[in-house]
Structures are given as C-alpha cells and as structure tokens.
Amino acid sequence: MAIALMFLLSGCASPASHDATRAGSASAATSAPVAAAPRKLPPMRFASNVDWYPSKAKQQLVTGRVLVGFKIDAHGKAVSLKVLKAEAPRTLRNAALDFVGDATFDVTDPAYDPRDPTPFAISVRFCIVDCGTLVGYPGYEDARISGSPVKPY
C-alpha cells in the first residue's frame, strides 16, 4: 500500500493570552510569569525520501504530537534535542527527535542570529491520513507528518 508522507511547516498564531482576574489586587494580577515567545526557525530542509512515521505506529493507527526543543550548530544541524512536551507514545517521541535531528537549518538566513542563546522549538504532529482535531502546540511552528495505515503482512 502506498505510504503518504506530508510535511507542513508554517507559523502558528501566538498562544492566546489569558486576562488576569481583576477581582484580586494589582500585584496578584501581575505575579504570573510571562512566557517568552518562541524563537522563529530558520528555513529547514529534510530528507523527503525517508518515511518518518514509524511503521508499527501506522499499523496500530497511533497518532500524537511532540514539542521538540533544540539548538542549532554552525553547520545547521539540530543539537541538544529534547522533548519539551508530548502527547504521544515513546515511538513517536523518538521519531520526532530523529526527524528534527536529521533536518538541516539554513544558518545563512538573515533572521538567524547565532549569538542568541534562546533555544528553538518545533511542534511535530503524527497523523494517519488527516490530522482531524490533532493540532500542533500553539505558538510554535508546526511540522505535520502523515502516513497511510499499513496492513501487517
């Protein structure tokens, strides 16, 4: 059976801000830390001939999402990769790390600042055919990896 692999990298809307409760004091309204905006990814290239969706996960119709944090070295490779959040089994978490680790980022892009120590993050979704209600992590650029269900032989 043919395997479909789709990759979508797009900027997502910023996370929705929550209004502080006005019933409390002004200091209570400002006591919550404000999360820094995610760092914009430089353009990335990845091997399009690789099926990034683990075949066993496709057979079992397993889907999920993984937020991967990383830094980019001088050669455009992701280093210091780690799973920041996940709603996915270990096989998909590992596949997300492999996907980001094998990608190459354009460090010549004018928006990329190698002196900025802020790590990068990308939301990776694994979907069988269509993602339906499975969305990327809000505020992060999104990579969607989709596959067709595979019948065991």
State residue 31's pLDDT score.
43
- In CATH, what number is assigned to the domain containing residue 122? 3.30.1150.10
d(CA 142, CA 123): 5
Task: Tell whether 118 is covered by a domain.
Answer: yes
Q: Do residues 38 and 12 touch, judged by C-beta distance below 8 A?
A: no
Residue 70 sits in which domain range? 43-142
d(CA 65, CA 123): 7
Task: Tell whether 49 is covered by a domain.
Answer: yes
d(CA 44, CA 120): 12
Q: Among 5, 2, 8, 19, which residue's Cα sits nearest to residue 144?
A: 8
Task: Tell whether 5 is covered by a domain.
Answer: no
Per the structure block, which two tokens stand in for 18? 């929550």
State residue 149's pLDDT score.
78
Positions of the chain with pLDDT lower than 50, given as ranges: 1-34
Task: Tell whether 9 is covered by a domain.
Answer: no
State residue 129's pLDDT score.
84
Amino acid identity, residue 82?
A: K
pTM score, whole prediction: 0.75
